[in-house]
């Protein structure tokens, strides 16, 4: 096997991990794939014989590319129309160590500085030691530990105190789908926490709520209004499963375009509803153009 083939094999073996790191940093599947592709080019421009730890080296490249990208991404998000939500991903494989990073926690990561986010993800989620992190983000060991510690305290506050089992989460998500889209407001209100919040991301490309909707009463009225619209059609359920670690589902709406809904559930009640309608964030989904598959 040639040195080029060996370098390619090494990169392909590490690609899934690099994609996960980039996605957790950026919240975008497409951008994560672009970052990893750029790291592949830089990997082949490197004298691989001088690299002692291929994984640490590639993680360093991906992290630095993500940090550079976040500078421009944050400027774009300041002018984003409505709520910005991460691109949804589904049902992580059992061997992924970052499976406990939910959409709720990713939203908490959005409130951190890029360096805090990188230090926390690399250390607490992907198991990098602080020597490796120091090289990746260009800060000394003490600064890296402090960055990770600050991030950790913010993330801990976002973790649900009373998480639900997978089965209970699926059952609540199914009940929410039926109640919210059929006009069963009594059934819907029984599922919602009093301080529930609804976030919807249309990106200015599809109709969506611009600002979050707070409280069970207002969220119920919103869905009641949707169900009462003229020419309203009950959506088609395409997929049920885990969306960024949360129970949820994918539907085909009246415009024949997909929509994802993920639910943060605490103490048996829906605390947060995350809806992604922006078509640019759904192109990577197999469900986007497929026929209904029912339950996953």
pLDDT tens digits for range 63-82: 999 999 998 777 677 788 99
Contacts 24+ apart (CB under 8 A), 258-263: 258/282, 258/285, 258/287, 258/288, 259/235, 260/88, 260/285, 261/173, 261/176, 261/177, 262/88, 262/103, 263/169, 263/172, 263/173, 263/176
Q: What is the pLDDT of residues 93-143, one digit of tens each?
A: 544 555 567 888 889 988 899 999 999 999 999 999 999 999 999 999 999
Checking DSSP bridges between strand 192-201 and strand 258-266, what pairing results, if any? Answer: unpaired
pLDDT band at 295 (very low <50, low <70, confident <90, very high): very low
Give the model's pLDDT for residue 294: 35
Q: What is the pLDDT of residues 146-165, one digit of tens each?
A: 999 999 998 888 877 777 88
Give the model's pLDDT for residue 91: 59
For the chain, give every residue range classified as CATH 1.20.140.160: 3-158
CA angle 229, 84, 125 (to 5 degrees): 130
Choice between 86 and 98, residue whose per-residue pLDDT is larger: 86
213 forms beta bridges with: 198
Does position 215 have pLDDT exceeding 70, yes or no?
A: yes
Separation in Å, CA 215 to CA 42, 175, 230: 49, 19, 26
What is residue 257's three-state secondary structure? coil
Give the model's pLDDT for residue 7: 85
Continuous segment of H or E residues that includes residue 197: strand 192-201
Give the model's pLDDT for residue 292: 39
CATH dotted code for 166-288? 3.10.450.50
For the chain, give every residue range classified as CATH 3.10.450.50: 166-288
Q: What is the mean pLDDT of residues 264-272?
A: 94
Closest CA to 290 of 264, 263, 258: 258
Q: What is the pLDDT of residues 26-38, one digit of tens each?
A: 999 889 999 999 9
Give the model's pLDDT for residue 71: 82
Report how far residue 216's alpha carbon sits from residue 219's, in angstroms, rounded to the nearest whole number.
Answer: 5
Name the H helices within the chain. Answer: 3-26, 29-44, 54-78, 103-110, 114-120, 130-137, 141-158, 166-182, 185-191, 216-227
Q: What is the pLDDT of residues 273-285, one digit of tens each?
A: 999 999 999 987 7
Q: What is the mean pLDDT of residues 258-265?
A: 96
Q: What is the mean pLDDT of residues 241-266?
A: 92
Provide Rg for the chain, Cα atoms: 21
CATH number assigned to the domain with residue range 3-158, chosen from the 4 options 3.30.470.20, 1.20.272.10, 3.40.50.970, 1.20.140.160:
1.20.140.160
Average pLDDT, the chain: 88
In the chain, the percentage of residues whose pLDDT exceeds 90 is 64
Q: Which one-letter DSSP state was computed for residue 234?
A: P
90 forms beta bridges with: 243
Does position 169 have pLDDT exceeding 90, yes or no?
A: yes
Does position 202 have pLDDT exceeding 60, yes or no?
A: yes
pLDDT band at 47 (very low <50, low <70, confident <90, very high): confident
Does position 290 have pLDDT exceeding 50, yes or no?
A: no
CB 123 within 8 A of CB 130: yes
Q: What is the mean pLDDT of residues 169-189?
A: 94
Give the model's pLDDT for residue 78: 75
Enter the pTM of the model.
Answer: 0.86
């Amino acid at each position: 096997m040639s040195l080029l083939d060996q370098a390619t094999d090494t990169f392909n073996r590490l690609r899934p991990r690099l994609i996960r790191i980039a996605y957790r940093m950026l919240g975008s599947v497409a951008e994560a794939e672009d970052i990893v592709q750029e790291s592949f080019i830089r990997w082949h421009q490197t004298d691989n014989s001088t690299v002692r730890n291929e994984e640490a080296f590639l993680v360093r490249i991906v992290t630095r590319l993500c940090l550079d990208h976040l500078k421009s991404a944050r400027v774009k998000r300041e002018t984003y129309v409505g709520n910005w939500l991460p691109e949804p991903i589904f049902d992580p494989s059992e061997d992924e160590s970052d499976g406990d990073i939910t959409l709720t926690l990713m939203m908490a990561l959005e409130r951190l500085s890029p360096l805090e986010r990188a230090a926390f993800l690399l250390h607490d989620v992907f198991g990098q030691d602080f020597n490796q992190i120091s090289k990746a983000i260009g800060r000394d060991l003490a600064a890296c530990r402090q960055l990770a510690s600050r991030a950790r305290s913010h993330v801990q506050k976002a973790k649900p105190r009373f998480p639900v089992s997978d089965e209970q989460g699926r059952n609540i998500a199914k009940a929410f789908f039926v109640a919210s889209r059929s006009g069963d407001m009594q059934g819907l209100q029984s599922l919602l926490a009093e301080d529930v919040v609804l976030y919807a991301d249309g990106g200015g490309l599809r109709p969506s709520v611009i600002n979050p909707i707070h409280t069970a009463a207002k969220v119920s009225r919103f869905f009641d209004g949707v169900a009462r619209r003229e020419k309203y059609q009950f959506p088609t359920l395409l997929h049920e499963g885990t969306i960024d670690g949360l129970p949820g589902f994918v539907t085909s709406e009246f415009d024949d375009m997909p929509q994802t809904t993920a639910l943060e559930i605490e103490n048996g009640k829906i605390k947060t509803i995350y809806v992604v309608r922006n078509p640019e964030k759904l192109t990577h989904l197999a469900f986007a153009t497929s026929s209904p598959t029912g339950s996953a």
